[in-house]
Amino acid sequence: MRFQTGFGWAGRSAATAIALTLMLSACGGGSDSGGSSGGSATTNTAPTFTSAGTASVVENTAGTAYTASANDAQGDSVTYSIAGGADAAAFTLGAGGALSFVQPPNYDLPGDANGDNVYEVTLKASDGKLDSTLALAITVTNDREGITVKRVATGLVDPVGIASLGSGSDIAVALKANEILKINGTTGAASQYYVFKNSVSAPVPGLTLLGLTRAAASGASKSLYALTAQSGRASVACVSCWYSPSYGDLADISNGTSVAIGTGPDGAAFVAIGDPAGTLAQSSSSNAGKLIRFVVNPDPYAGASVPPDLYLRNTVGNGLHAPSGVTTLPDGRLAVSDRGGSVFDELSLTASLTSLNFGWPFYEGTQEVNAGGAALSGLVMPSLSIPLGSDKRQSRGIVGGIAYTGSIPGIANQYVFADADGRIWSIPLAKFVAGTTVQSSALEVRNEDFKPDVGTIDHPIGFALDAEGTLYILDSDGDLFRVSAA
């Protein structure tokens, strides 16, 4: 080995010697910082960047995102600094040229000045006397963050609601035409689970379904509660709570009023009823615009009520416009999604379950759209306000979501929801600080992370977690999607 090295050196000796001579001569003669006098002085030149003007990093990258390098013709040592650029503040630069993000970048919620995930920063290379700059553009690319979305069922006819069946990956999906399916969320195998039937065991004529939730029928035992509609009126019916179904009448929905059902922190079913015109939402004489708590009456034959009412219900809130979802967060707050009339959709969170006022027709979001709002008591200002519109963080109709408590790190402890046009959003639950309204600029746009293997999530209407914590998204055009770890 040593012999070979020596032999190779000897073989190139002439050319190398000439090169070394030229280099030493340049160093000695060109130095204007070494105090050398005499000889032929050469002019100092600024370092020249040799690293590229563009780079690409995957989101969530911590540590070095790019390494600057520059060549100095005189061999001066080069130092690097940030000289400007629209996104200069997003970066920190080590003296050796290692550039990193102050906060790991989030593709789904870009932090650059114009929000296009291309971060612009100007770097400077200096030899102590002269410098040059490089306009650097770093593109942040998406990572799916462990999220895999598989279409597990398709061809469902007019699905309207989804809920866990309480064991394994069994999911109940309500179809508009009075049928509840049991779907194995892993295999997609579907079978009929329940149909509301009359006294002669025929499907109830004219009955349609509007929604579904899994709530406590009595005590801790849970059952499905379906929102039903018949002859222009909405009702709630507990599935399999009695030998025959019983309907708890709610409200006139013949004018297209939206109704949503979910489960509260106390296990009761909560129904949110809209009031598009806004004339009844604040009136105690109507269920329109109200949030109503439903439980099975444990003793329906007590007292003199004939016929017995099999449900107990109480109004817990006023002032809803066009609700689209009710769910409960892990901290026990009830979350109600309400679509706005012309300005804002909103998500309202409340720890209290009495005497609430969601503000319609006086407020949309935090904006007073009709005079008189200040006089309302129990006013619940939204925890999240989303302007209506067509941009990525504007809504075309909020769809009630769910707090994801499963194992996928990319969405763990986030509220995951959507709009009717298929935007999928998430936001960390920790952002919902009581007494504050989060703006839609804080929403992570998760469509790329949630792109399914087959089909499109373009008309989402419902979210549910199965008993194992796996997330499902129901699409009104007939698809059921399962969201699992990669």
**Cβ distance 292 to 315 under 8 Å?**
yes
Least CB distance to Ca ion at residue 450 (A) = 9
Residue 89: CB atoms within 10 Å:
12
Residue 105 and residue 60 in contact, taking contact as beta carbons nearer than 8 Å: yes
**Strand pairing report for 118-126 and 79-84:** antiparallel
Nearer Cβ to Ca ion (123/260): 123
CB 74 within 8 A of CB 45: yes
The size of the interface with Ca ion (CB under 5 A), counted in residues, is: 15
- Would you count residue 116 as binding Ca ion (CB under 5 A)? yes
What is the distance between the alpha carbons of residues 419 and 364, in angstroms, rounded to a whole number? 17
Instruction: Choose which of 65, 68, 74, 261 interacts with Ca ion (CB under 5 A).
Output: 74
Site string for Ca ion, 121-150 (x = CB under 5 A): ------x--------------x--x-----
Of 76 and 346, nearer to Ca ion (C-beta) is 76
Closest distance between Ca ion and the C-beta of residue 114, in Å? 4
Interface mask toward Ca ion for 85-114; x: CB under 5 A: ---------------------xxx---x-x
Of 69 and 366, which has the nearer Cβ to Ca ion?
69
Contact by Cβ (8 Å): 212, 261: yes
By C-beta, is 142 or 315 nearer to Ca ion? 142
Indicate whether 483 belongs to the interface with Ca ion (CB under 5 A).
no
Closest to Ca ion by CB, 74 vs 235, is 74
**55 near Ca ion, judged by CB under 5 A:** no
Report how far residue 47's alpha carbon sits from residue 81's, in angstroms, rounded to the nearest whole number.
Answer: 13
The gap between the terminal CA atoms of the chain, to the nearest Å, is 50
Using the 8-state DSSP alphabet, how is residue 361 labeled?
Answer: T
Q: Is the peptide bond before 307 cis (omega within 30 degrees of 0)?
A: yes
Per-residue contact flags (x/-) with Ca ion for residues 437 to 456, judged by CB under 5 A: ------------x-------
x/- contact string, 197-216, with Ca ion (CB under 5 A)? Answer: --------------------
- Residue 426 beta carbon to Ca ion: minimum distance, rounded to whole angstroms: 9
Say if CB 159 and CB 175 are below 8 A apart.
yes
Smaller CB distance to Ca ion: residue 33 or 187?
33
Angle between helical axes of 2-11 and 13-30 (0-180°, round to 10): 70
d(CA 307, CA 295): 17
Which residue ranges make up the site for Ca ion (CB under 5 A)?
Answer: 44, 72, 74, 76, 106-108, 112, 114, 116, 118, 127, 142, 145, 449
